[in-house]
Amino acid sequence: MTLHSGRDGESTPDGESRGAGRDPRPTRRGVLLGVGLAGLGGVLAGCSTAAVPYDANEAGVPPNGPAPGAMPSSGAMTSPAAPGSDAMSSSPAPRGGQASQSARKKAKPKPKGTVLGAASDIPVGGGAIYTAAKVVVTQPASGQYKAFSAVCTHVGCLVNKVTSGTIGCPCHGSEFKITNGAVVAGPAPSPLPARQIKIVDDQVILL
């Protein structure tokens, strides 16, 4: 009986070499070994090659913080906010309603009454006759204004002149004082009735 080598030279009783009949498929041990090597390669590839200080923490940051000029870890670039770009303004613009209310407050209300004319047109010591309103306005002293009916108390004629401190009627010569409308010369039996006026922005207004 001839012996054959069973392990690259080891003989077997049947004369066949063990190496010649080995299964060519990979064994379980070989597969596991290959998977382990592939995983180790991936871990090594994921490791950073950047230099890390010896006293850095687990994240690779030194105790005193990142070095000046280092880029943010997130990769985002930040820039300082431009002056005046705050979302909240310290002095908000006034609302439209408030602006309209302030405009209405500034606007002066229109005075009630009838505007006769300019107060500056009435001379001191004299007066002005407004025939349409049948009113005579005098200024006995500077800034002192008086108003009377322009209808003479004699027969109802309108007075037509103010001179020498008196108001004269053209019909029969009656005269009245510019200070209080009292009769200076007849035949008028009673003084001229007083009328109410006020001066607003140099305007004579009959109330």
Q: How far apart are CA 17 and CA 135, in angstroms?
A: 151
Average pLDDT of the chain to the nearest whole number: 73
Q: Give the pLDDT confidence of 193-206 residue by residue, as tens digits.
A: 999 999 999 999 99
Q: Which two tokens stand for residue 154?
A: 């004699």
Q: How far apart are CA 188 and CA 162, in angstroms?
A: 16
pLDDT at 112: 82
**Homologous superfamily (CATH) for 122-196:** Rieske [2Fe-2S] iron-sulphur domain (2.102.10.10)
Q: Give the pLDDT confidence of 105-133 residue by residue, as tens digits.
A: 666 666 688 999 999 999 999 999 999 99
Give the residue, 78 or 173, on which the prediction is more confident.
173
Q: How far apart are CA 205 and CA 118, in angstroms?
A: 9
Q: Give the pLDDT confidence of 84-96 residue by residue, as tens digits.
A: 545 444 555 556 5
Mean pLDDT of 22-42: 59
Q: Which two tokens stand for residue 185?
A: 């010369």
Read off the pTM: 0.48
Residue that has been written with the tokens 């408030």 in this structure: 98
Please state the domain extents for the chain: 122-196
Q: Does residue 10 carry a pLDDT above 80?
A: no
Q: Does residue 168 carry a pLDDT above 80?
A: yes
Q: How many CB atoms lie within 10 A of CB 159?
A: 26
